[in-house]
């Protein structure tokens, strides 16, 4: 496998074009699951039950159809995504990327303001599409090994996507319009390797609106500080606990202070706090406990912890230390809600979007969550509307024996392992593709 230092510079091929058409809403389901609180309860964290509503009028779906003959679905001229940003200051991003990247254009028109990617997303995109074959063939035939070829494929997609969001980046003076690309998941326990990989990716992508994704593992917390101090903007990913989130904030602040830059306005960051996976794990623990009190807390842990993370965000980005950095042009490290798709079909499909709306935040949504929110989501500030109740839920879970530290560590291990498996699987797929194309891997 190629090391970071051995990879060649990517080509900057022009963007390809794609046709856009409108899918008929008649092909979509006519019922959806509604979420209602029990009678007499006003708590957004209260117990719930399901109901079915018939003949709900869906809009044309905002779903990227990677390399499909029909292209992407057409976009409404104005959606709730515009309202989300303009009324509440939250940036809606799209958690997906594939070729042709111009399929993102209707989503941008619908209010999407950035893109996130990860090894699992590229594994799906590259392994399920023929759109990468020509470039891949050229790369391997010109002497690149499989891993080096992988990075060239990824870099081209990231560069092309950055170009699409460049106008948003410029209009917001570097406040939005970012595209994220992650360092190799194999480096999650390698502090120095992560720093070097981040520097390399930043250099070869060579776009002002790229975020280099670094996992929030303990070995990578120092990496975050070092990369920020080098003036490189970072998306810190795989955050599952408040304690680790605070370490991420401190790494960002330490990095800004260590940079020596007189103008900090172009060094920005987001902290990707994962949501749905928290409920997936804690729900299992609650079901094992099995008491009525425990079962009543299912589906509430993730949003409660997120609300407390936002409270910490407000605290850390205020006061003398932060104000001193603001004088040099520093921007807040925005909280980004990740893993916003609903894993439990019994829950409302906007559960990890609607209750997490607040200023200076980002919500990155895969197809399911994005389409659901555009179709029937409502826009209002919710993230700090009932912090005391969130604190109560957090404490109640602790009293039941839920160890938040264990939850965070377990989910981090699972997250890193999942990305490693996706990365390794994709390299295997590319090797098979090289074999099928009668190419020889070096």
Catalytic site includes residue 6: no
- Of the candidates 156, 213, 332, 433, the residue annotated as catalytic is 213
Tokens 């593992």 belong to 217
- Cα→Cα distances 12→24, 116, 154, 339, Å: 36, 20, 12, 31
Residues contacting residue 144 through CB under 8 Å, at least 6 positions apart: 2, 7, 8, 152, 442
d(CA 375, CA 364): 16
Name the residue with tokens 């990365």.
423
Peptide bond into 100 cis (omega under 30): yes
Residues in CB range of 68: below 8 A, 6 or more apart: none
What is the Cα–Cα distance from 230 to 430, expressed in whole angstroms? Answer: 33
393 in Cβ contact with 45 (< 8 Å): yes
Beta-sheet pairing, 334-338 with 269-274: parallel
What is d(CA 407, CA 302) in angstroms, rounded to the nearest whole number? Answer: 11
Name the H helices within 259-386: 276-289, 292-296, 301-316, 320-326, 367-376
Place of tokens 């949504």: 365
Give the sign of the dihedral formed by CA 34, CA 37, CA 43, CA 47. Answer: negative
Helix (H) or strand (E) holding 201: helix 191-205
Residues that are catalytic: 213
């Amino acid at each position: 496998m190629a090391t970071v230092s051995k990879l060649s510079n990517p080509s900057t091929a022009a963007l390809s074009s794609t046709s856009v058409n409108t899918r008929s809403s008649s092909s979509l389901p006519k019922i959806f699951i509604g979420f209602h609180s029990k009678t007499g309860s006003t708590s957004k964290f209260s117990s719930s039950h399901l109901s079915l509503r018939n003949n709900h009028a869906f809009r044309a779906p905002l779903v990227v159809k990677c390399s499909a003959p029909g292209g992407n679905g057409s976009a409404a001229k104005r959606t709730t995504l515009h309202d989300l940003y303009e009324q509440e200051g939250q940036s809606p991003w799209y958690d997906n990327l594939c070729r042709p990247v111009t399929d993102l254009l209707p989503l941008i028109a619908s209010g999407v303001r950035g893109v996130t990617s990860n090894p699992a997303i590229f594994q799906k995109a590259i392994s399920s599409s023929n759109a990468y074959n020509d470039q891949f063939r050229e790369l391997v035939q010109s002497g690149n090994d499989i891993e080096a070829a992988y990075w060239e494929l990824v870099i081209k997609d990231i560069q092309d996507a950055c170009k699409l969001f460049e106008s948003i980046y410029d209009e917001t003076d570097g406040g939005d319009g970012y595209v994220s690309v992650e360092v190799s998941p194999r480096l999650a326990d390698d502090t120095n390797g992560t720093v070097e990989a981040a520097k390399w990716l930043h250099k070869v992508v060579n776009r002002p609106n790229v975020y280099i994704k670094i996992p929030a593992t303990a070995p990578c917390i120092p990496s975050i500080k070092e990369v920020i101090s080098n003036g490189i903007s970072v998306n810190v990913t795989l955050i599952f606990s408040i304690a680790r989130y605070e370490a991420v904030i401190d790494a960002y602040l330490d990095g800004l202070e260590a940079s020596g830059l007189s103008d900090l306005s172009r060094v920005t960051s987001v902290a990707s706090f994962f949501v749905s996976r928290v409920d997936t794990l804690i729900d299992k623990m609650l079901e094992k406990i099995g008491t009525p009190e425990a079962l009543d807390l299912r589906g509430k842990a993730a949003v409660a912890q997120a609300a407390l993370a936002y409270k910490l965000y407000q605290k850390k980005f205020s006061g003398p230390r932060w104000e001193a950095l603001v004088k040099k042009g520093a921007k807040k490290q925005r909280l980004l809600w990740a893993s916003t798709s609903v894993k439990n079909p019994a829950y409302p499909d906007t559960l990890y979007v609607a209750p997490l709306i607040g200023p200076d935040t980002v919500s990155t949504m895969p197809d399911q969550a994005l389409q659901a929110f555009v179709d029937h989501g409502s826009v209002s500030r919710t993230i700090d509307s009932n912090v005391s109740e969130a604190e109560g839920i957090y404490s109640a879970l602790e009293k039941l024996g839920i160890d938040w530290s264990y939850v965070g560590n377990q989910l981090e291990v699972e997250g890193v392992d999942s990305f490693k498996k996706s990365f390794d699987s994709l390299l295997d797929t590319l090797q098979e593709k090289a074999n099928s194309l009668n190419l020889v891997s070096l």
